[in-house]
Amino acid sequence: MSRLRLLARLALPLGLSLAACGLLGWYLLRHPDQWQTVSLASPWMIGVCAAASLAALLAPGLIFQVMTSRVGRNVGLAESTWLAVMTTAINSVVPLHAGAAARAVYLKRRHDLDLSAFAATFLGYNILRLLAASVAALIAGGWLLMPWGGGETAVSALNAAAPATAGLKGLVAIAGGLAVAAIGACLVRPAWLGRLGLGRLEQHRLLKPLFKFQAGWHELMRCPRFLLKVLALVMLQITAELVVVWAAWGAVGVPLSVAAVVLVTSFGILTGLTGLTPGGLGLVELVTVAVGATVAVEPAHGIAAGLVARGVSMAVLAAATPVAFAGLAACRPRV
């Protein structure tokens, strides 16, 4: 029975990824006229996309080093960076944040880092990613809804396209809800549940580990300097991801405004945080195409840009993974 459950847990994300990719492929087959208009307008943007992909890939290394030092483990920057690359590599082929689980096992064996302490850092990192991406999406979406928010794109056409405007308002509402949830995760203390008469929730079989990890994250947040430092590093990582999206869309000849790039990238990040599919494959592209449609971008161009971003990122990851593996092997203690 346990094997069947494991297979089901793996099959569902993979099936979801295939379904999302199939839906995008079906759209292209149904609209060949749109696909024929896509071309590589700026080949040099591929290089920009690759450089930004490398920066986004390596940035978590410094974030992991800062967070593990906060829980009393001195992991070098090089080792943290190799570990970050390997985490991304595993996540790209296995769903449900399997790379984080592998990183937890490595840190436990190599540095004797308690799994609960690691879980607190993992939860905190993702909460800050959720906070930064949702707030960015909220601001960008609100800006695009303003009369002056069209910028370089065809967003001004939204005034004459009620469905697109409604979609953009829906995205703003979703981003606002996620921002509130992220702020709540940072501020709400598990002890408050007892005061509200909801203390039993802490003992629930499914919620108990989450409350335990959240309590650990609150311990880490006691130092405002640490919190601001990690948040700044997360924002730098997201900035690199913004450049990846901007360059990918520019490569296929779609000059998005800054607000549109922020909106598309932020929802791609929010989708990737779920870990439902390996590396967000299929789902991220599907969501970014849908978000792109709300800012008057043809879906075919959105699919092409998604393929460019995915292809370049995977190429960079494929080149970096052997180096990271060799680097981690060199970090092993000599017997």
What is the Cα–Cα distance from 245 to 304, expressed in whole angstroms? 12
Residue 188 forms part of a structural domain: yes
- Within 10 angstroms of residue 94's Cβ, the number of other Cβ atoms is 18
Residue 253 forms part of a structural domain: yes
DSSP letters for 228-284? HHHHHHHHHHHHHHHHHHHHHHHHTT----HHHHHHHHHHHHHHHHT--SGGGTTHH
Domain membership of residue 157 as a residue range: 41-331
What is the Cα–Cα distance from 247 to 229, expressed in whole angstroms? 27
> Cα–Cα–Cα angle for 244, 162, 179, nearest 5°?
50
Residue 264 forms part of a structural domain: yes
Residue 275 forms part of a structural domain: yes
Residue 10 forms part of a structural domain: no
Residue 194 forms part of a structural domain: yes
Number of domains in the chain: 1
Residue 14 forms part of a structural domain: no
Residue 145 forms part of a structural domain: yes
DSSP letters for 202-213? GG-TTTHHHHHH
- What does the pLDDT profile of the chain (335 residues) look like in tens digits? 466 666 666 677 778 888 888 988 898 888 887 777 788 888 899 999 999 999 999 999 999 999 999 888 889 999 999 999 999 999 998 888 889 999 999 999 999 988 888 888 888 899 999 999 999 999 999 998 887 655 444 444 444 444 567 888 899 999 999 999 988 877 776 666 555 555 565 565 655 666 666 667 777 777 888 889 999 999 999 999 999 999 999 999 888 889 999 999 999 999 999 888 888 888 999 999 999 888 878 888 999 999 999 999 999 999 999 999 999 988 865 43
